[in-house]
Structure 1
Amino acid sequence: MNLPCPRPHSRLLRPWIALLCVPLLGAGSMATADVVAPHETRWPQPARQTSWPMAVQTAPNFNAPSATHCMRPARMVEVPGGQSAPRAVDEAAPPVGMPRRDRAGDALFEKGARLESRKEIASGSAAPTPAPAPSAPAASAFADERAHGADSKPERQRQEEVVTAGMVDDNANFSDYLQFLRKYAQVPHRERNVRERYLLEVRTPAGIAVPDAEIALRADNGAAMWARTDSAGRAWIHPLAFDPQGSARYQVAARKNGREATAVLARGQKSAVELTLDAPPSPPRAQLDLVFLVDATGSMGDEIGKLRASLRSIADEVARLPSRPDLCFGLVAYRDRGDAFLLRRYDLSNDLAGFQSALDALRADGGGDYPEAMNEAFHDTLHNIDWRGPGATRLVVLLADAPPHLDYGGPQYDEDMMAALGKGIKVFSVGASGLRRQGEYVQRQIAQYTGGSFVFLTYQDARNPASGPGRETVHDVRNYSVQTLDKLIVKLVSDELAKLPAGNG
């Protein structure tokens, strides 16, 4: 049976209408790629399918990563927690991602989210030469702030020398993950139905994985979603997360480097959706964008200290991996409204020395109530970092001991985890000591949906972080191994790069 084919009234609509009108294929069928000139392809646009509290209806921002390099200083951009003006901001740059709203805090966030270096990169004026170290004011900005507010979360003894951690992959143990979601469904969170999932794989005619291929799904009712394949050329698709009505079938399209392939996903099918894309070979050297997204409130001193001390080891070990990746590091530190800053961002940079200086100056302070500004910081990380374009591996390490504020008008983590999948950004969520069940729930949602893993710190006595490193945890996990946190992060990065096809993995 064929889908009904309306007569196109515009030449620009014909390729997408043709995609909607292809004959239905059998479950798990193989689709052959056709050569499609980029200017002839009409990619579906995001629908207005979600809303932010006290804000206009909107949809996640799926604009594709497009930066060509990260050869820039590790320069800081700040969004204040109060009412003062943002620092290092290009007022001429257009706002990215967030609509304007009436609430003062939301307007301030939008203003601060304009990245000064974005204009430079877009114009191509930035020369691809090694970047100098950041200036002293930028590197010392963290240390200059005054103490602001007292964090009500439990104080913990610093364990800067050794921090141990375990890890669970909720996609590999999906039935256990669904059981976890049902068990703790009463905790405050943003609901996205993931109980149905389907594997989508994109390969060349020779069977080689196609990483970072763009994916679009569209239902008969117009609901749509976007994704990018991971290093293994795969993506997990959850139709009910974007189409609560549960359409019977979805048109699937994959594209990369001007090539495109189509197929059909039928609800209930058991086999993977496979698309064949005659994509050109990947670059010989892997490109890795690695951003640390860190809760910098008062109770996070021990984890920040460990990360600060371990970054050089992490960078050196990643650089020595067999793939010899082209590395870029970024940092987004956040606190909460009313603190000295809401968030501070260092864009992706290959200037490791400058980035190390910025991280060395990071101090934990502020906080006040238990939830923090994770929503705003996660949104900023996805949309205001200059992630590199096609072919890059993009990873976020989220280190936090508290959930986001769900009562603020502004970006929400569930919308942005969908945007992360569309941008090909995988999140490894790290639950620090003191993280309660709500925070665990949210962090596991983000990691599972983006294809990442949930990491959690472990101790000799699970309920006493001062007991020192060990194997115990208060989190609802099982069948996990334990390593030091830095070695575990390196392993996660190494495993991701190892999935790349020969030539750049």
Structure 2
Amino acid sequence: MVDDNADFSEYLAFRGRTQVVHRERDISARYLLQVRDARGAVVPDAEVAVQAANGAAMWARTDAGGRAWLHPNAFDSAQSQVYEVTVRKNGRQSTTFLQRGQKNAVDVVLDGKPGAASARARLDLVFLIDATGSMDDEIAKLKATLRTIADQVARLPSRPDTCFGLVAYRDRTDDFLVRRHDFTNDLNAFQGVLDALRAAGGGDYPEAMNEALNETVHKLSWRGNGATRLVVLLADAPPHLDYGGPQYDDDMVAALGKGIKVFSVGASGLDKQGEYIQRQIAQYTGGRFVFLTYKEAANPASGPGTQTVHDVGNYSVQTLDKLIVRLVSEELGKLPAGG
């Protein structure tokens, strides 16, 4: 697992040395937004609007730690020098300015009385899965460990009220393009949905990830104010960039606007293009790039190990179920007390 926002200079170097076809979004200029209330507590899930004088604008929601990464060049090709930053939550609003080139974080304090904190965290967790034939082993692992994941998440200190969702995809010539199963808090029902999923089809290498990410962001019933929204993207191939219709870069931008954080999991066989795109999506939305490791880097049949073919330096190694629990735990652990 690597955190490209934590080691941003290395991530930029990776982008510079990796020449693959992709959808370009310029993230070279990056600024951290931190939102707190008058008591100094972080403010999660606050609405953020960033606007230039020329009308170029972006939207975000702060994560569980009250933070969001802002990338002005990704939405403003004119590279304006000043941006107005407006933050809102529960009727409170504060405005400040981002000056291009500033070294410090954009700190915003929301004055006024905070809204009532929920006694339990609310977690919306989606598995976005490539369900083509080469993904059989990974899907089987997820089926076998779902209850363990759910049990360990339920035991976290925040005692989250968790809803699970599933979006599975294949390709245009297969039995289905995208199948969407909306959120449920019924674990037995969700296990049944997951158990019914079969890995099949595919054919050519790229798959319908664009269409599936679009449905994940726009067509699921994400809960509103105060929820932590996470996606685990599990895939071993890049999206079809030659199809018309939705494109992943537009929907990673939309995901940030809705406060949806994507953790991209590179399964066996993911090539350089797939790695590049998965890391784009994770970095922009504030998530991380996770990949499966093996005893022999280029041989998934060699069994679990510590080796990888991916272009990464420092990384940690855990099984998929433990990684998911760890990611959820770290996200929910950022929430303020009572939230």
Q: Which bin holds the TM-score, normalised by the shorter protein?
A: over 0.9
Listed one character per residue, the Cα deviations across residues 432-471 of structure 1 (whole Å, up to 9, x for unaligned) are 0000000000000000000000000000000100000000
Distance of 1:223 and 1:383 partners within structure 2: 22
Could you tell me which of 94, 98, 101 is aligned with 1:261?
A: 94
Verify: 1:388 aligned to 2:210, yes or no: no
What is the 5 A alignment of 1:190-201? 190-201=23-34
Question: Which is higher, the Rg of structure 1 or of structure 2?
Answer: 1
Q: Which residue of 2 aligns with 1:174?
A: 8
What is the 5 A alignment of 1:34-433? 167-184=1-18, 186-278=19-111, 279-433=114-268
Distance of 2:37 and 2:189 partners within structure 1: 40
Verify: 1:469 aligned to 2:280, yes or no: no
- The one-letter amino acid of 2:128's match is L
- The one-letter amino acid of 1:353's match is N
Distance of 2:286 and 2:119 partners within structure 1: 24
Structure 2 unmatched runs, 5+: none
Distance of 1:230 and 1:252 partners within structure 2: 16
Q: Which residue of 1 aligns with 2:280?
A: 445
Aligned to 1:483, the other structure's residue is in SS state coil
Distance of 1:273 and 1:478 partners within structure 2: 30
Aligned to 1:394, the other structure's residue is in SS state strand
TM-score for the superposition, normalised by structure 1:
0.66
Distance of 1:368 and 1:243 partners within structure 2: 39
Identity of aligned residues (%): 72
Q: Which residue of 1 aligns with 2:321?
A: 486
Aligned to 2:35, the other structure's residue is in SS state strand
Q: Which residue of 1 aligns with 2:293?
A: 458
Distance of 1:478 and 1:489 partners within structure 2: 21
- The one-letter amino acid of 2:12's match is L
Q: Which residue of 2 aligns with 1:137?
A: none
Shift of 1:494: 0.2
- The one-letter amino acid of 1:176's match is E
Shift of 1:203: 0.5
Distance of 1:346 and 1:403 partners within structure 2: 22
Distance of 2:117 and 2:249 partners within structure 1: 31
Listed one character per residue, the Cα deviations across residues 95-139 of structure 1 (whole Å, up to 9, x for unaligned) are xxxxxxxxxxxxxxxxxxxxxxxxxxxxxxxxxxxxxxxxxxxxx
Any runs of at least 4 consecutive aligned residues in structure 1 with deviations exceeding 4 A, and if so which?
none
Distance of 1:351 and 1:502 partners within structure 2: 27
- The one-letter amino acid of 2:33's match is L
Aligned to 2:292, the other structure's residue is in SS state strand
RMSD: 0.6
- The one-letter amino acid of 2:185's match is N
Aligned to 1:195, the other structure's residue is in SS state coil
Could you tell me which of 430, 436, 447 is aligned with 2:271?
A: 436
Aligned to 1:408, the other structure's residue is in SS state coil
Distance of 1:432 and 1:301 partners within structure 2: 11
Distance of 1:300 and 1:207 partners within structure 2: 45
Distance of 1:414 and 1:183 partners within structure 2: 20
Shift of 1:281: 4.1
- The one-letter amino acid of 1:171's match is N
- The one-letter amino acid of 1:262's match is T
Distance of 1:430 and 1:452 partners within structure 2: 11
Shift of 1:282: 2.4
Structure 1 unmatched runs, 5+: 1-166
Distance of 1:459 and 1:327 partners within structure 2: 31
Distance of 1:344 and 1:280 partners within structure 2: 37
Listed one character per residue, the Cα deviations across residues 411-440 of structure 1 (whole Å, up to 9, x for unaligned) are 000000000000000000000000000000
Aligned to 2:194, the other structure's residue is in SS state helix
TM-score for the superposition, normalised by structure 2:
0.99
- The one-letter amino acid of 1:246's match is Q
- The one-letter amino acid of 2:26's match is N
Aligned to 2:43, the other structure's residue is in SS state coil
Distance of 1:464 and 1:389 partners within structure 2: 43
- The one-letter amino acid of 2:216's match is T
- The one-letter amino acid of 2:147's match is R
Aligned residues: 337
Q: Which residue of 2 aligns with 1:46?
A: none
Could you tell me which of 323, 332, 337 is aligned with 1:497?
A: 332
Distance of 2:126 and 2:117 partners within structure 1: 23
